[in-house]
Amino acid sequence: MTKRFPKLFIYLLSALFLLNIVQSFFTELIYDEAYYWYYAQDLAWGYFDHPPMVAFLAKISSFFFDGELGVRFMGCILGVGTFLVLWQLIASKEKHKYVPFFFVLLFSMPLLNAYGFLTLPDTPLLFFTTLFLLIYKKFLERATIGISLALGLVMAALMYSKYHAVLVILFVFLSNVALIRNRFAWLAVATALVCYFPHFAWLYNNDLVTIKYHLFERPNQPYSFEKFTLGYILNLVLVFGLLFPWVYWALLKTKAKDRFKKALQFLAYGVILFFFLSSFNRRVQTQWIIVICIPLAILTYEYFLSRPTPRKWIMRLGLTSTAILLFARVGLVHEPLFPVVYETHGNKEWVNTLKEKAGDIPVVFENSYRRAPMYAFYSGNTSYSLNNFHYRQNQYSIDDSEEKVQNRRVLYVTKYAKKGDISYTNARGTLFYGIFIDNFRSYRKLRCLVEDLPIDLQQDSLMVKVYNPYPHDIDLGNLTFHVAYLNAHKQLQESNKVAFSPLNGAIDRLKSNDTTYFRCTLKSPTMKDIEYIKFGISEFGLRPGINSSSYKLEP
């Protein structure tokens, strides 16, 4: 053990693991973690936004602990696992002499630091990227059936972590296209596809909802050089903190002398270039490029190992960065140390305040897949996110959470009302109102379908099919139909109520598990540059939901 991992390495890694466990215990969840905790309450082979690995990790964590640590424990395990595997990926025989340099280098990377304890899709993505590279390195040394099967399993685990994993696999393949003639490589691919089949089946059974959302339905913004491209370049700096000049210098100066090092370079350059090009279309989030930390950590460590002067500077700045990050980690728990209120501050407080006023009845949050699971986690009560035109679909749109609040007395929480039965403020001082509804009913799974595309606003009428997936008929008298007008970036510009006339004469209800055909006359929007429309249905006076895809208008 000490030959592979020096005692100092084991001591420092143990200290890091203990730090992450303590951090996990005392730090309130961030909103995304609460959302993924909500995933884990109903395990499936897929979810609206992501593949299921993050939910599996949260569920496994709950077997060992309660509370926040019951969400993050497996994140802590994978965090130290990433360090362990990274150490094995470093080829230098001198590495045992420079263990502190290794830890300072990695600990100085802000997101790599954070994902050592937070449970987010990027946490398993980083671990399985590292493990994938380790097995690929062994594959290059000597391909066998066993190694090929292991490589396939890890490729599947990568894809179960986050869809961005396809870039890891793609750029490693592009670094060695001769793999296309390697039967062991094809065995690895076949293994990965077989293991990933349950997720393919889930996507098929859920109408490819995740793919459609990410590729076609996700709202965007008009291009801005400052927000998009310049913001992306800033992200390339932020992901490595104070050490960014040395990291990118190591990438530029490293010469690939073998196929593995070439794979590291292709992975780093490929991801950087891919998202640079993407920045001309949409805003790139910092965590989307997190996988470059893995190849660049290896290249930076190995490049500067034999260069004492710059290594000393890296150690000095790295220790400074480490001190800053440790201070920030304390600030995640102790709010006064932070200049702003962060997501880990005040969640228990606002949840307890709201629970005192709501009692044990379910709480329905308008347009918030973030607050709904946070409330459920800290209160232990039922919650639901009711989404409308002004928001986006999410996991609450496709699971059975709507059924749990139907025909019940609920507290409907919104920040858009001017008054309510109760009110409360969150940690940032935003005022919310709550309205008690004695018999809550919503039908957000009704689907409006248009076949005659693209839609011409000048035509006399448009045929729209409305499918009712519910196990009961729905009274048309309780519904009103609406249309939303969207710009080229699928941002809502305006909405109108429209009349729907049944094609088959006078009917008063939508039959269960059946399709009803309507004619509607669309109004021309008052705003210009409208390129899409989508339909929404309002039930019992609620704001219209998101009941269709975005349909392209005829130019």
DSSP 51-93: -SHHHHHHHHHHHH-STTHHHHHHHHHHHHHHHHHHHHH---T
Residue type at 73? F
Q: Which residue type occupies 207?
A: D
Q: Where does the chain hold its CATH 2.60.40 domain(s)? A: 447-552
- What distance lies between CA 65 and its chain's CA centroid? 24
* Separation of first and last alpha carbons in the chain: 68
Q: What is the pTM of this model?
A: 0.94
Please check whether residue 218 is in contact with residue 486, taking contact to mean a CB–CB distance below 8 angstroms: no
Q: Please name the residue that has the structure tokens 């969640």.
A: 347
Q: How far apart are CA 221 and CA 491, in angstroms?
A: 8
Which residues, including other chains, have CB under 8 Å from residue 315's CB and lie 6 or more apart? 100, 101, 104
How would you write the pLDDT of the chain (555 residues) with one tens digit per residue? Answer: 556 889 999 999 999 999 999 999 999 999 999 999 999 999 999 999 999 999 999 999 999 999 999 999 999 999 999 999 999 999 888 899 999 999 999 999 999 999 999 999 999 999 999 999 999 999 999 999 999 999 999 999 999 999 999 999 999 999 999 999 999 999 999 999 999 999 999 999 999 999 999 988 888 888 999 999 999 999 999 999 999 999 999 999 999 889 999 999 999 999 999 999 999 999 999 999 999 999 999 999 999 998 999 999 999 999 999 999 999 999 999 999 988 899 999 999 999 999 999 999 999 999 999 999 999 999 999 999 999 999 999 999 999 999 999 999 999 999 988 899 999 999 889 999 999 999 999 999 999 999 888 898 888 789 999 999 999 999 999 999 999 999 999 999 999 999 999 987 778 899 999 999 999 988 889 888 899 999 999 999 999 999 999 999 987
CATH number for 447-552 (one of 2.60.40, 1.10.3470, 2.60.120, 3.40.50): it is 2.60.40
Cα 547 from Cα 184, distance rounded (Å): 47
Neighbours of 62 (CB within 10 A): 18
